[in-house]
Every structure is written in structure tokens, then in C-alpha cells.
A and B are shown apart, each in its own frame.
Chain A
């Protein structure tokens, strides 16, 4: 009995430590090299880009589960003025980024392709202009708006006083549970 408790407790402790490590992982020396996947991460259908069913992506976001990458993505989202069209995810000139339905697919590779290639009616192509690791960081942030990143890596509250889309999504998720 006692032994089981100790084992459970230590197992839990190790789990916490491992989660914490992953959450705080920082890749502060990213490679600037552009990989061959530029512009075709999602292997899309040329006739119906992005869908109806999201094609099985071949490339996964290397910057997925770390709080540092998500916060870097948030900074770059504003620096590169994504917020100019998409606001804080609610959309404006551009479509909203908090949603269930993605025009060009919602998998990380789809979002990556959208940023890199651009899309008709206004989305500029950023491929070759900003480093690839930064595109992945922005992808990580956009997915965190929809609560699609691990809760352990997502900020529990926003930096701003106003509730951010991120916290709104988390809250609604909590309510439905």
C-alpha cells in the first residue's frame, strides 16, 4: 500500500518534471536554412487546395509544444503585422483565425503553407522573406488561439488586461466539458 503510494507519487512527480521541461524548451539557436518543404508542407491538391478533407500532412511543426515558441509566435504575429488583417484572431480585413472551419486546412502544415505561399484575395506570400522557424512559431501561436496546443504550454491568461481570444477559447472549452 505504502509502496504503491510512493511509486505513484514519484511517477507523477517525474511526469510533472518532464512536462515542465518540454513546456519551457527554448530553441534559441534556430537554423536559418530554408528546407525543401518551403511551399509544399501539406502536399495539397492543386484543384481543391486545403480540403474538403485536410490532406494528410507530411511535415509536423517542429515548434509545437513549448510555451517559448508560442510566445515568440505571438510576438512575431504582431511584429509582422498579421494583426493588421486578422486582428487578434477575430479577423477583419482577413478571415478570423479562431474557427472550426479552415478554408485551406487547419493542420499545422496547412497553416504553414498558407503563410508561405499566400492565398488569393489578399494573403501575401511570406515564403523566402521570413525565416522558416519563425513561420512555424507563428503557426504554433495561431493553433494556440484555437486551443489546439497542449494546455501545459498555453498561457493561462493573456498579457493584456482584455481577455484575449486565447483565454476565451480556453474558457468556452472548460464550460462545455
Chain B
């Protein structure tokens, strides 16, 4: 009686844990089982078929175990196994058939799972044969992402950071590179992951089914701030994407208000320009993220914080508290210079 209660308690707890786990997966945006593209759709199907099949096996095994543990003694008719040291013909035959059956079932299940995985992998690699792909180079750097759109024509090449815009329904070729250590590109709702390896180009393909913003992050431990190395993939209809692209290809907006004009001077007279570039100005540093259209981006510090003026002030004055160990220099900005600098940077739409 006591055993039954305990079994009931344990199974209830397991069920609750599973439900919590699943709901947290389903309602979280950044998730491989919330697919937004044909490839992640296939991965999702595969994941759920694994889940139901293996979950069923787990349950059957657990039920059988519970039955064995709680089974009553059958009485004196039972064969005295221990005395004979040899099972009877009948028991021997039953044992043999059970083992044979279990082995066959296991082999069949493993075969089915292997075939399912291979078919999914093959189907996912078919994307590279689709016409009209868009190539985007993603370079992992401690601890942010450099994004380059290579359009063939050098005047239409675009460099940005931590945010990828893609047109819906068009295959995207991600060319992965790294500037320092091994990173890994993973946008769970779309596809991945693929390691970014120094002095080597790796390729990943993805496609979005419907518009939306999908969060991705580095999936290979890459140092102190690995956890704060996120990016957004924003899927838009083709015309909206083209409008975005045209806007991004323009040089930076010139400052209009007196505050913004002062802010530009502050930027150009501080250490900012040694690492950051702003198209159309003398700032041409290549070590940090390109800031040409900084104001249009969602986050700062590789999406550690939302891009607001307050967060930006904190980030400029004391980057090492927000993201300890990162490579943004701690510089001295006087109180009178800070507000113009913030207004200038946020005006770079």
C-alpha cells in the first residue's frame, strides 16, 4: 500500500516537471520547437517524434518496473528456482522469447530513428539548391556579431552588427567566420547551429516562413561574456526588406540639431573612432561594431540591453559593469559632452 502511494507521488511529480518543461519551451520565443522556417519545421517534427516514441518506451518500462516491484508473491505453486539452480524448460523458453522480442523491437526502433534523422538532414540540405539565395557573412568576435551583406557590387556592400534582416521565403546562405576563438551561430527558431571557426569559412542555410523577430545566440563557449552574445534575425516581406537595405546602404544621417552636431564632435575627438566606424564621417575604426545606423538597431552590447538612451549612457560610461571583461574601452566623457553624444548616436537611424 505504502509503495503504491510513493509510486503515485513520484509519477505525479514527474508529470508536473515534464509539463512545466514543455510549456516553458513552447511559450519561449527562442526555441527550436517553435519553428518559423521549413528547416526548423522538420527539426521540430523530428524532435516531437523522438519525444513521443521514446516517451512511450520510457512509460512502458516504468509501468513494467512498477508492476514488478509491487507484484504479490504467487504462493507455493511457484517453481523453487534457487534450489534447482536451473530454470525449467517453460521459464527458459519464455525468457528466450522475451529477450529476442525486445532485441528485435530495439533494433527496429533505432533503425527508424536513424532513417528519420538522415531524411531530415538530407531534406534540410536541399535548401542550397533553391534559386535566388541571399548571402550574409556572419563573423563572430568576442563578444558580438559582425554582419556583412555581400551583394556582388562593392558599392552595395553593407556592414552592420548584431542584427540580421532577411526577406521571408528566400533562402539565406550564412557564411560563418571568426576573428578570435570558435563561436557558434544558432537561431533556434530557424536553423542551426553551425560553428564559426577562425581562418575558415563554414556555411549554414536558413529560410523564414513568416515575418517575425527571432533571437539567436552564441552556442559555443567563447570566453567571459559568451552568455551576452546575442543577435536578432528579423524576417520581413521582400519589399520591407528592400526598403531596410536601401536605408542601411546610405551613409550616416548628418546631425541636425545643435546638440547632435556637438555630439558628433565629441565622438570624433574621443577614442571612439579608433574602434568604431560611421560611414560618411572620418570615423573608420574596424575593431568594434559599425555604428553607421546604430539608432535603428534593437539592442546595444550585442543585445545585452535594449537600445535606449539611458542604457547607452550606462554602457559608454561604465561598460565593464554591464559586461565585465568586454573590449569596449572605459573612456572619460565629461558630463557636458555625454548628452550630446547620446543624442548624436541615437539619431543615426
Which among A27-35, A39-47, A85-93, A109-117 touches the partner chain?
A27-35
Contact A32 B330 (CB under 8 A): yes
Contact A31 B274 (CB under 8 A): no
A149 on the B face (CB < 8 A): no
Q: Which residues on A sit within 8 Å (CB–CB) of B320? A: 28-30
Q: Which residues on A sit within 8 Å (CB–CB) of B246? A: none
Q: Give which listed residue, B329, B330, B332, contacts A29 with CB less than 8 A.
A: B330
Q: Give which listed residue, B271, B318, B324, B325, contacts A131 with CB less than 8 A.
A: B271
Q: Which residues on A sit within 8 Å (CB–CB) of B324? A: 28-29
Considering the complex, give the chain B residue whose CB is closest to the CB of A130. B271
Q: Give which listed residue, A26, A75, A80, contacts B325 with CB less than 8 A.
A: A26
Knowing A29-B330, A32-B330, the reply to whether A129 touches B271 (Cβ < 8 A) is: yes
Contact A133 B330 (CB under 8 A): yes
Q: Give which listed residue, B274, B318, B325, B327, contacts A130 with CB less than 8 A.
A: B274
B331 on the A face (CB < 8 A): yes
B321 on the A face (CB < 8 A): yes
Please measure, in the bound complex, the distance between the C-alpha atom of A75 and the C-alpha atom of B327, giving whole angstroms.
9
Q: Give which listed residue, A26, A30, A79, contacts B287 with CB less than 8 A.
A: A79
Please measure, in the bound complex, the distance between the C-alpha atom of A31 and the C-alpha atom of B329, giving whole angstroms.
10
Please measure, in the bound complex, the distance between the C-alpha atom of A30 and the C-alpha atom of B321, giving whole angstroms.
11
A133 CB → nearest B CB, Å: 7
Please measure, in the bound complex, the distance between the C-alpha atom of A29 and the C-alpha atom of B330, giving whole angstroms.
8
Q: Which residues on B sit within 8 Å (CB–CB) of A134? A: 329
Is the interface on chain A under 10, 10 to 19, 20 to 34, or 35 or more residues? 10 to 19
Considering the complex, give the chain B residue whose CB is closest to the CB of A159. B180
Proximity string of chain B (309-349) to chain A, C-beta cutoff 8 Å, 1 when within and 0 when not: 00000000010110011010111100000000000000000
Considering the complex, give the chain B residue whose CB is closest to the CB of A75. B327
Interface core residue of A30, A31, A131 (most chain B CB under 10 Å): A131
Contact A28 B332 (CB under 8 A): no
Please measure, in the bound complex, the distance between the C-alpha atom of A130 and the C-alpha atom of B331, giving whole angstroms.
8
B222 CB → nearest A CB, Å: 15
Contact B332 A32 (CB under 8 A): yes
B275 on the A face (CB < 8 A): yes
Q: Which residues on A sit within 8 Å (CB–CB) of B270? A: 129
Contact A131 B329 (CB under 8 A): yes
A24 CB → nearest B CB, Å: 13
Knowing A28-B320, A79-B275, A80-B274, the reply to whether A131 touches B327 (Cβ < 8 A) is: no
Please measure, in the bound complex, the distance between the C-alpha atom of A33 and the C-alpha atom of B333, giving whole angstroms.
9
Please measure, in the bound complex, the distance between the C-alpha atom of A124 and the C-alpha atom of B325, giving whole angstroms.
28
Q: Give which listed residue, A32, A75, A79, contacts B274 with CB less than 8 A.
A: A79
- 20 more CB-based (< 8 A) A-B contacts, given A32-B330, A129-B274: A26-B325, A28-B324, A29-B318, A29-B321, A29-B330, A30-B330, A31-B330, A32-B331, A32-B332, A33-B332, A79-B274, A79-B275, A80-B274, A129-B270, A130-B271, A130-B274, A131-B271, A131-B329, A131-B331, A133-B330
Query: Which 5 residue pairs spanning A and B have beta carbons closest together?
Result: A32-B332, A79-B287, A32-B330, A29-B320, A130-B271
B binding-site residues for A, Cβ under 8 Å: 270-271, 274-275, 287, 318, 320-321, 324-325, 327, 329-332
18 contacts between A and B (CB under 8 A): A28-B320, A29-B318, A29-B320, A29-B321, A29-B330, A30-B320, A30-B330, A32-B332, A33-B332, A34-B332, A79-B274, A80-B274, A129-B270, A130-B274, A130-B329, A131-B329, A131-B330, A131-B331
